[in-house]
Amino acid sequence: MKVPKLEVKYTTMLCFACGKKNPIGLRLKPFHDGEKVVIEFRPSEFHQGWDNIIHGGILYTLLDEAAAYAMLCHGIELGVTGKSTIRFKHVAPVNEPIYTSAWVTKIARRLVTVKGVLTLKDNTVVAEGDFLFYVWNWSRKAFLWDLDGVIADSYAFHFAAWQEAFARRGIRFSSKQFAQLFGTRNDFIVRQVMGNKVSQGEMRALLQEKEETFRQEAKGKLKAFPQVSALLNTIKKGNFKLGLASSAPKENIDFVLSELNLHGLFDCIVSGQDVAESKPSPEIYLTAAEKLGTAPNDCIVIEDSPAGIKAAKAAGMRCLAVASTHPKKQLREADKVVESLENLDLISLLVKV
């Protein structure tokens, strides 16, 4: 099948199925639950064929839309329908919700097959569909994650360790100072607190104390933020590139990933020791993109700090900010800000950021 070369985005605001600006459209809201795409839709009398029975074309549209998004969530930016087979099994009444689910069953280099099912609230099967798509474009998207405050709920452990390390040197370290500096590299934090005349020997001793205290206090207590592990694994299963770019030293990154059972998940890891400059410099994110072989404009960064957001935007990347360690008003430079990642899915990351 020959397809003309076009510049196509994931979705259009005027799409009949999911477009938000189509006044006569269905305005579907697909969601990826980690295994399949699901859509809930309540049809009205304007969607009927026979009296009080939903038109078969609407039912087909639900299945086709869910199937297309299932393909998207497996790293295929765009595909075109080559063949579809629909088996209608039960009528769907007006004004009752219809539940659509779809999942990929097979992926080859140029072809993808998808299965879809429509059910009523009582699990009665309305229709089943099998779809064959021709792959048009594979996605080039990469997701670059910060670690502390995004994946790991480690803020309190780091603050306590910094306080203890500075207190041994007669320096008071306030929560306000830490809030402003969290997300930057360790040496940057020390120089902001103690000035630029800190000797290399004193710097090494302080940082060693701080990180040893952090690991001792966090061991066995450290947790990931809700649903983060599931979202990371969904991205990985979807064939998207996954990078970690953290200002933390490599020893801390290894410790945190081990505590959270996330070792082996990332395609590349860049630590604060791998770059010359701390966030808000874009160096750490540009280095991660280079290691992944991905252009900056194909990268989506997940951050929690103003410094991290500045780094991502300076790198020419899109950025999702999570208000886990800073208030939302301080994160406004991001492309999108959410309270948490708990209710976020892969489709939201791909389409809305």
Residue 190 burial (CB < 10 Å; 0-12/13-18/19+)?
A: buried
Q: pLDDT-based confidence at 12, cuts 50/70/90?
A: low
pLDDT over 80 (residue 11): no
pLDDT at residue 8 is higher than 60: no
Tell me the mean pLDDT in the region 281-309. Answer: 97
Helices of type H across the chain: 56-72, 155-167, 175-181, 186-194, 200-218, 228-237, 250-259, 283-292, 306-314, 346-352
pLDDT of residue 140: 92
The per-residue pLDDT for 283 is: 98
Asked if domains 142-152+224-352 and 155-218 share a fold, the reply is no
pLDDT above 60 for 216: yes
Average pLDDT over residues 212-217: 95
The H or E element containing residue 100 is strand 98-107
Q: Given a cut of 80, is residue 102 above it in pLDDT?
A: yes
pLDDT tens-digit series, residues 62-81: 999 999 999 999 999 888 89
Average pLDDT over residues 109-117: 94
Asked if residue 7 has pLDDT above 80, the reply is no
Residue 37 has pLDDT above 70, yes or no: yes
Q: Out of 75-79, 149-153, 239-243, which region has the weakest mean confidence (pLDDT)? A: 75-79
Output the average pLDDT for the chain.
93
Domain ranges of the chain: 31-137, 142-152+224-352, 155-218
pTM for this predicted structure: 0.89
Instruction: Choose among 228, 225, 333, 241: nearest CA to 279.
Output: 333
Task: Please identify which residue in the block is written with the tokens 């006044």.
Answer: 23
Rounded Cα–Cα distance for residues 105 and 96 (Å): 29
Q: Residue 189 in 3-state DSSP?
A: helix
Asked if the model's pLDDT at residue 19 lies above 80, the reply is yes
State the average pLDDT over residues 235-259. 95
The C-alpha atoms of residue 341 and residue 330 are separated, in whole angstroms, by 18
pLDDT category of residue 197 using cuts at 50, 70 and 90: confident
* Assigned architecture for domain 142-152+224-352: 3-Layer(aba) Sandwich (3.40)
Give the model's pLDDT for residue 272.
92
Q: Does the pLDDT of residue 198 top 90, yes or no?
A: no
Per-residue pLDDT, averaged over 84-104, amounts to 96
Look up the CATH number of domain 31-137. Answer: 3.10.129.10
State the virtual CA torsion across 125, 127, 132, 137 in degrees, nearest 10: -80
pLDDT at 340: 94
Q: Report the pLDDT value the prediction gives residue 109, as an integer from 0 to 100.
A: 82
Rounded mean pLDDT, 273-281: 94
Instruction: Please say if the pLDDT value at position 92 is more than 90.
Output: yes
- 155-218 in CATH: which number? 1.10.150
One-letter amino acid identity for 94? V
Torsion over CA of 326, 328, 330 and 334, rounded to 10 degrees? 110
pLDDT band at residue 136 under the 50/70/90 scheme: confident
Which residues are catalytic, by number?
146, 148
Per-residue pLDDT averaged across 250-255, rounded? 95
**Which residue bears the tokens 């497996």?**
74
